[in-house]
Amino acid sequence: MRIARWAAGIAAAVVLSTGGAGAEPVKVGLLLPYSSVYASLGEDITEGLALAIETFGAETGQEIELVREDTEVKPSVALAKARKLIYQDKVDMLVGPVASNVAGALRDFVDGVGMPMIIPNAGNDDLTGPKCSRWVLRTSFSNSQINRGMGPWLKAKGYETAYLMAADYAAGRQMMDAFRTAFEGAGGTIVGEDYPPLAETKDFAPYLAKARAAEPDLLYVFFAGGPAVQFVKQYDAFGLREDLQLAGAGWLTSPLQLPAEGEAAAGFIGALNYVPSIDTPVNAAFQDAFRARTGRIGSEYAVQGYDTGRLIVEALKATGGSAADKAALVDAMRAVHFEGPRGRLEIDPSTNNIVQDIFIFETRLVDGAVRQVVVDTLPAVRDPANGCVMDGR
């Protein structure tokens, strides 16, 4: 088996030889950020996906070619790149994007042309809710799925009031809405909220000052990528770590960001669909292989890419290695289930969203390093249909 390595940030075709039978390769178009605030997320998803295809791809009897394009976390750019991948590169399916606003911009286009799109990160609730499509599947999470359970869980731990803070785009708003509804439903009170601009915010001090002045029991947040590092460091420098509990969506202390955050991240309570410490043989094998490939721990983003690659392989096995019939291919994807690093992967055919365990963890100093330590698990979390009526086309 061989893989042609790519240069970071450059759109390139990468062919993974899987012992193909001489037919045209199956082409997978990657619509991910390789620049801007979420570049590290796009790279980790890509590495995980390539690892899965290297590991399992021979089972399809086909070559699988990855053609990658940089969305730059911009909806207009992503839409142009999607057209290029479909009409010029002739890809058989799309994988992406990372950001919820970008996913929202792509939905009508891929639905209109009947192109399977597997979302390996973007949690936009609408895409597996009122704007669901037979052609759009999610192997990552919905924004509500990650945050909904944290409302009653934190209320049961004695937190009565919360202040909300998140990046100002679709994901941040949806995550805070999900937490607010669940927390208030459990008897908690939201005492304030703020939404700093996603890419422009470098100084969180004014927002942290407002949160402190509201005197909540809890500061509940969503930030990821580079902004997560900036927020955690400033939260610590502002002196809040000692007197205001920090909680939220678990990407704040992703393994990708923890080395830069250091001890400033200790004490955070998060919810996520994967943490590296899951104690199963499948996860141990994934971590060993990812570490051998990249020299680092596999993050939740890498696992989402890995499970996406495995989903593609399993679907191609079901279609005899053919991606020509897009309807048959997407139907095969919806029927896939297997045991992955985070547990059982299953697509709910009523929404095309993943059904999965959600892990509640605390970041703690362990043997001189900050680690995510699981403290509870919410099993087999499934989203309600939320207005989804699946088109049978």
Q: What integer pLDDT is reported at residue 367 of this predicted model?
A: 87
Which amino acid appears at position 358 of this protein?
Answer: I
Amino acid 242: pLDDT: 86
> What is the percent of the chain with per-residue pLDDT over 70, rounded to a whole number?
94
Structural contact between residues 294 and 388, judged by C-beta atoms closer than 8 angstroms: no
Distance, first Cα to last Cα, the chain: 37
**Are 134 and 390 a contacting pair, CB within 8 Å?**
yes
Tens-place pLDDT, residues 85-134: 999 999 999 999 999 999 999 999 999 999 999 999 999 999 999 999 99
> Which residue, among 148, 144, 221, has the nearest Cα to 182 in the 3D structure?
148
The larger pLDDT score, comparing residue 276 to residue 390, is at 276
Paired strand residues for 337: 346
Q: Which pLDDT does position 162 carry in this prediction?
A: 98
User: What distance in Å separates the CA atoms of residue 183 and residue 362, rounded to the nearest whole number?
Assistant: 19
CB 298 within 8 A of CB 306: yes
Helix, strand, coil share of the chain (percent; to 5):
40, 25, 35
pLDDT the model gives residue 37: 87
Least Cα distance to 334 among 128, 137, 121, 103 occurs for 137
Please report, to the nearest 10 degrees, the dihedral formed by the alpha carbons of residues 291, 13, 137, 77 taken in order: 110
Contacts of 100 (CB under 8 A, 6+ apart): 122, 123, 124, 143, 169, 170, 171, 174
Does a cis peptide bond (omega within 30 degrees of 0) precede residue 97? Answer: yes
Q: What angle do CA 248, 33, 386 make, to 5 degrees?
A: 50
Question: How confident is the model over 53-67, as pLDDT tens digits?
Answer: 999 999 999 999 999
| Mean pLDDT computed over 243-269 | 95
Q: What is the Cα–Cα distance from 141 to 145, expressed in whole angstroms?
A: 6
The band of 1, judged by pLDDT with boundaries at 50, 70 and 90, is: very low
Q: Which amino acid is at 63?
A: E
- C-beta atoms surrounding 105 within 10 Å: 20
pLDDT of residue 181: 98
Task: Give the bridge partners for 15, in sequence order.
Answer: 65
Q: How confident is the model at residue 15 (pLDDT cuts 50, 70, 90)?
A: low
Q: What single letter denotes the amino acid at residue 334?
A: R
Least reliable range by pLDDT among 101-115, 191-205, 315-329:
191-205
The pLDDT of residue 9 is above 90: no
Mean per-residue pLDDT for 24-37? 95
Which residue matches tokens 């990249």? 294
Q: Quick one: pLDDT band at residue 16, thresholds 50, 70, 90?
A: low
Ordered structural domains, the chain, with CATH: 13-141+278-355 (3.40.50.2300), 145-272 (3.40.50.2300)
Identify whether the C-beta of residue 72 lies closer than 8 Å to the C-beta of residue 8.
Answer: no
**204 — phi, psi (to 5°)?**
-90, 0
pTM above 0.85?
yes
Of 373, 350, 351, whose CA–CA distance to 362 is shortest? 373
pLDDT level of residue 341 (50, 70, 90 thresholds): very high
Position 10 scores a pLDDT of: 34
pLDDT of residue 73: 94
Q: What is the mean pLDDT of residues 349-378?
A: 94
Q: What is the CB neighbour count within 10 angstroms for residue 206?
A: 11
Q: Name the burial class of residue 268, with classes exposed (0-12), middle (13-18) and buried (19+) by CB atoms within 10 angstroms of its CB.
A: buried
- For the stretch 150-189, pLDDT in tens is 999 999 999 999 999 999 989 999 999 999 999 999 999 9
CA angle at 308 for the pair 354 and 128, rounded to the nearest 5°: 35
Residue 251's identity, in one-letter code, is W
pLDDT at 392 (0 to 100)? 59
The answer to whether 115 and 326 are in contact (CB under 8 A) is yes
Q: What band does 368 get if pLDDT is binned at 50, 70 and 90?
A: confident
Give the rounded distance of the alpha carbon of 71 from its chain centre: 15
